[in-house]
Structures are given as structure tokens and as C-alpha cells.
Structure 1
Amino acid sequence: MNSPLQRMPKIRFRGLIIYSIITMTLLYISYSNLLFSKKDRKSPDITIVPNKTEAPPFNHSSNTTSSHVQNSADQKRPNLVEPPPRRYLRYDTNLKHIAFGIASSSNLWEIRKEYIKTWWRPKETRGVVWLDKKVVAKKGERLPEIRVSEDTSQFKYLNKVGSRSALRITRVVSETLKLGMKDIRWFVMGDDDTIFVVENLVRVLSKYDHTQYYYIGSASESHIQNILFSYSMAYGGGGFAISYPLAKELSKMQDKCIHRYPALYGSDDRIQACMAELGVPLTRELGFHQVKLPLLHLFY
């Protein structure tokens, strides 16, 4: 059994703990009351911007001096009304500002021209279909003007699995530029089986300044194709757009550029090689997408 002398330190320690808890509680309560009382006494510094159509409240006791002091105080107060968000800059590009260069071939023309009819708008859309040789054009068909590409026999083609037609297709943009169409801002290139939704195309191109260098398109949907070629290349199957000043620079150097890359496979990787030499990267727009279906799907 503990003696009274042994129990004294424990009693004193318990008393000290109780005293400390009571003291901290009182301090907390006093501080909270003081804090809330300061908030109540402080008036909120909020600037209310009245509606311009509402008349200001009439003050019977106001005079010239008090009005001057009040106006000075209002000028010092910050305006807490946030400005509206800045809208994206849009350029007034319309369908008439776009020239389409469509690559096709004579042996597939009778089939592929039906794809073009689905989106082509006579007297609204502008552009040319470029073929390897002349075909019989029927009157009244809803199709673009048909032209034959220039001779490309002077260029070497060393790719063992590709086709020489890639050389003439590479020059579609340059040959369309040479036609001298007026008020053109963009050259859009596509294949004869590329389907363009012209409203969406105009909306997308309106985001960009046509006076600057732009090479706009997207990569392939196939990971294997992107590995074999490039993730920074606009694939022709989905179409791509080149601004007018960039098309002019491309036309000046394209033939020499084609001579430098005889082993490339297609036209779109040759365009990308020339763009790399001009120092213009691809501006990616996912709306320019292509889908290559397996041959099995064609039988369904």
C-alpha cells in the first residue's frame, strides 16, 4: 500500500494536467470570440458595378464635396467583376478560298469518281482531279475539272515495292498552284476515295492564319504504318492542307527535293521530306483521319 507521501506527487501531477486543460480551453474560447468580433466589425470590400440602365440611388444629403470624395473612393476600389473569356481568333476563311487537288488514276476512275460525287458541290467547291492519262468525261456529272498530270519520267524511283505514280501525285499541289486560281488561301490534297466534309474542313482551317506556313493533317490509324513511315507525316488517305504561301515555297524547290529522295515509297512521305527541308512541322488535326479496311471487309 502506498503511503500518503507517495501519493502526493501523483495528485499534484493530475492537478497540473487539469489546470493546463482548463487554461487552454479558456484561451481558445477568448481567441475565438475576439476573432469573430473582428470579422463582424470589418465591412466587406466589395465593389458592386450597377447596371448601366439603372438610375443611381438619390441621396438627399449629398453635395458636391461628398460626391467628389465618394467618386475618388470608388476609383480606388478594385473592380471584382471578371472580364468575359477571350474568344479564339477566327479567320474569315470560306469554301471559295480552298482549292482541292484530287489524285486519281484512269484505270480506277469509273469507280472512284462516285466517291467524289458524294461531297463535291458544283459552282461552290473549287479544284481539279489529276489523272495519269485522259478519260472520257460525261456531260452533266457533278465532278471537278479533270486534268492530266505533267510528265515525271525525269525523276528516279528506286522503291522496289511502290509505284511510280507516287511521283506525279507528289506534284499535285504544285500543279494546282500553277493554274493561277484567284483568292485561294489553302490547297487541300486528297485521294479519289477521300471523303471531305466541307463544312468541317472550313471550320478547322478558319482557326489558322493562312498567311503563315501551315502543313496540316494527321497520322495514320495504323501503328505499323507510323513506325514504317513517320508519326510526323500527314497521310494522304485522310487528306491534308497546305497554306498558300507554303505551297508557293514548295513549288520552288519540290522538283529538286523529289530528286533527293528516290527511294521513298509514296507521295505523302515525299511531301513530308520537302516540308522538313523547309523547316515546317506537321500541325496535327485529328479530323484528317484515314481508315484502311482489310480486303475481307470488301466482300460484306
Structure 2
Amino acid sequence: MKNKPKVEENFLWDQNMKNHFTIPWAFPKLVVSSILLISVLCIFYTLSFSNVSNSSNQELKIIKTIHGIDQDIIPPVSSPKPKPQEKTGLQHIVFGIAASARLWDHRKNYIKLWWKPQEMRGIVWLDKAVENGDDDHLLPPIKISRDTSEFKYMNPKGHRSAIRISRIVSETLRLGLEDVRWFVMGDDDTFFVPDNLVRVLSKYDHNQFYYIGSSSESHLQNINFSYGMAYGGGGFAISYPLAKALEKMQDRCIQRYPRLYGSDDRIHACMAELGVPLTKERGFHQYDVYGSLLGLLGAHPVAPLVSIHHLDMVQPIFPNVNMVQALQHQ
């Protein structure tokens, strides 16, 4: 009776040991089988995809050959290079010259000194018609400014012709001239140096808004008007896009400033509304002075001389000659 429990104990021990070694061996077999199955499937799908890809490539090559578009024989198409932009020249500048019929016979002689009929474009804008002259072929064409009686002028010290003159850039733009980059404004007693004007304007991008000129040499004039205004007699340049923007709003702008004095301060007011500041070029000269210019010219800044204004107010640069002869001598 004492041996029976011992036998049962041995039997239970053998069963536990068998179970202990059987379970761990069954699990690895399942893992190995799964890995083998996955490997076989991967090999199968890889071979299938390779065959399909090769077949597709062959079909695509056949199609390209049929249509004559084999990439091996067609050179790559290069986009055309943009043409380099032509440098700014006199042909890209249009002048708007303010003049009066009363002084035309005298002051047209100043214009003839610098005007190049075969190379330059521009219009002389008069307040009324004048008789034709024998020297008309040496001068820009003449046009009559539009009537401006609809605009108010309320400055007691000035003259309402300032309204007419302030609209010259807009009236010149409306002529529809082609290949224009710059509009240059000046008076009939303004002497321009055309080649220097081209040198100055060539520095700027005519596709942007530019209002280029200079203030007066007179401190008193600048106090009365502005240091940030281009004085019209000394001349100023407006880029074509800015001239278009000005033309669209100028008449309404002028109506808002009836008490201003001249044409250049009206232009300046409209430029302020457009948000365009003055770009100063020290070669434009208003010369609100009297007497000799030798001191001012002798101390000229290192900049191209672009213009001289008020030729009837200052002394000739050279002695014993009149102003026209002095300018011919330059």
C-alpha cells in the first residue's frame, strides 16, 4: 500500500515532462511553415510583376516605334531664349514741350539748337495756332492744347495756363505713339542735352513707375513749393506705365487742387496721390536765378548735364554773344 502512491507520482511526473517538451517543439514548426509559405508567395508575385512590366515596356516601345517617337532618336526640345532688350535710345523718348503763341517766334530758336528731327519724337503744345514758318522742318510738330476752362483755377498770383501745361504728358500719351518708354516734359526755354538725357534714363527700368527730375537751385523756391517736386522748366521724365496711370486720374486730381500755383506742383500733387516719390537726378536744372551761371556750372556735381532752364533770365555763358550764339558754342 505504501508503494502505490509512489507509482502514481512517477506517472504524473512522466506526463508533465512529456507535455513540457512537446509544446515548445510544435510552435517552431508553425512559424517555419508560415515563413516558407510567405516566401513562396513573394517569389511568385515578384516573377509575375516582372513579366507584366517587361511585357508593358515592350508594348510601349512598339507603340513609340509605330508613331515615330522613339526617345533615343528625338533630341530634347530647348525653349527659345528671350531676345535681349534693346537699350534705351532717343527713339524711345517722347518730348512734350510747353509753349505759348506769344513767345513762339523767339523761343523756337532755343529748341532748334538741341532738337534732332530725324532721331527724336515730340510735340510742341501751344495755347493757340501760329503761322507756319520756313524752319518748321527743324522743329517738333505743333499741336493745340485742349480747352481747360472747365477746370477751376483759384490762385491769385498765378496764371491758369498752368492747368493746360500740367496736362501735356496726358495729352501726348493719348496720341498713341508706339515703342515709348519715357515722356519728358520741358518748356520752350529749356535747353536739353539729348545724349546725356539718354545716359540718365538708361539707368532706370522703364517698366516701373518713375518720376525723375530735380528741385530748384533756389532755397526760397523750394520752401515755397517743395524739395520733393520736379520743377517743370528744368524738365522731368515719367516712365510709360506711370504716364498711363497719371492719364487715367489726372483730370479728377486737378479738380481737387484749384489753389496750386503752377503746372509742376499739380503734377507733384497727382504723383503724391499715386504714391510715387521724386527720383532726383542732379543734371536737370531749373535755374531760378539771375545773372551769371558760371559759378553754378563750375561747381556742377559729378553728373551728366541734362538741361538748362530760364535762358531769357540768365546771362550768356560766353561773353559778347547772345544766348543762342552761346549755346551754339557749347
TM class, shorter-length: 0.5 to 0.7
Structure 1 residue aligned with 2:21 = none
- Which residue of 1 is the match for residue 279 of structure 2? 283
Does residue 117 of the first structure (1) align with residue 112 of the second (2)? Answer: yes
* Cα 1:122/1:260, change in 2 over 3 Å: same
Opposite residue 278 of structure 1, the aligned amino acid is L
How far 1:137 moved relative to its partner?
1.9
Partner of 1:161: 157
Is residue 127 of structure 1 aligned with residue 122 of structure 2?
yes
Partner of residue 299, structure 2 = none
- Quick check: which has more Rg, 1 or 2? 2
Instruction: Tell whether the 8 Å contact from 1:159 to 1:264 is kept in structure 2 after alignment.
Output: yes
| 1:118 alignment partner, SS class | helix
Deviation at 1:292?
A: 3.0
Aligned residue type for 1:127: G
1:219 aligned to 2:200? no
1:243 is the counterpart of 2:239: yes
Relative to structure 1, is the Cα distance of residues 204 and 297 closer, same or farther in structure 2, using a 3 angstrom cutoff? closer
Partners of 1:297 and 1:275 lie apart in 2 by 30
- Displacement of 1:187 in angstroms is 0.1
Equivalent position to 1:185, from 178, 181, 184: 181
Please give the secondary structure, in 2, of the residue aligned with 1:190.
Answer: strand
Q: Structure 2: how far apart are the matches of 1:147 and 1:119?
A: 20
SS in 2 for 1:175: helix
Large movers: runs of 4+ above 6 Å: none
Alignment partners' CA distance in 2, 1:140 and 1:227: 41
CA contact (8 A) 2:216 2:288 kept: no
Q: Partners in 2 of 1:115 and 1:292 — Cα distance?
A: 18
- 1:39-78 equivalences in 2 (<5 Å): none
Q: Amino acid of the residue matched to residue 98 of structure 1?
A: I
Task: Tell me the residue number matched to 1:95.
Answer: 90
CA distance in 2, matches of 1:119, 1:237: 16
| Cα deviation digits, residues 138-165 of structure 1 (max 9, x gap) | 1443100000000100000000000010
* 1:215–1:280 Cα contact (<8 Å) kept: yes
Instruction: Give 1:288 deviation, angstroms.
Output: 1.0
Given residue 276 of structure 1, which amino acid in structure 2 is its aligned partner?
Answer: A
Query: How many correspondences in the alignment?
Result: 211
2:253 is the counterpart of 1:257: yes
Change (3 A) 1:297 1:187: closer
1:294 deviation in Å? 2.9
| Residue among 199, 206, 224 paired with 1:203 | 199
- Match of 1:143? 139
The answer for unaligned runs of 5 or more in structure 2 is 1-84, 292-312, 321-330
Structure 1, unaligned runs of 5 or more:
1-89
> In structure 2, what is the equivalent of residue 107 of structure 1?
102
Inter-partner Cα distance in structure 1 for 2:90 and 2:251 = 29
Deviations along 1:80-128, one digit per CA (max 9) or x if unpaired, are: xxxxxxxxxx971010000000000000001110110010001211000
> Are 1:91 and 1:207, in contact at CA under 8 Å, matched by a contact in 2?
no
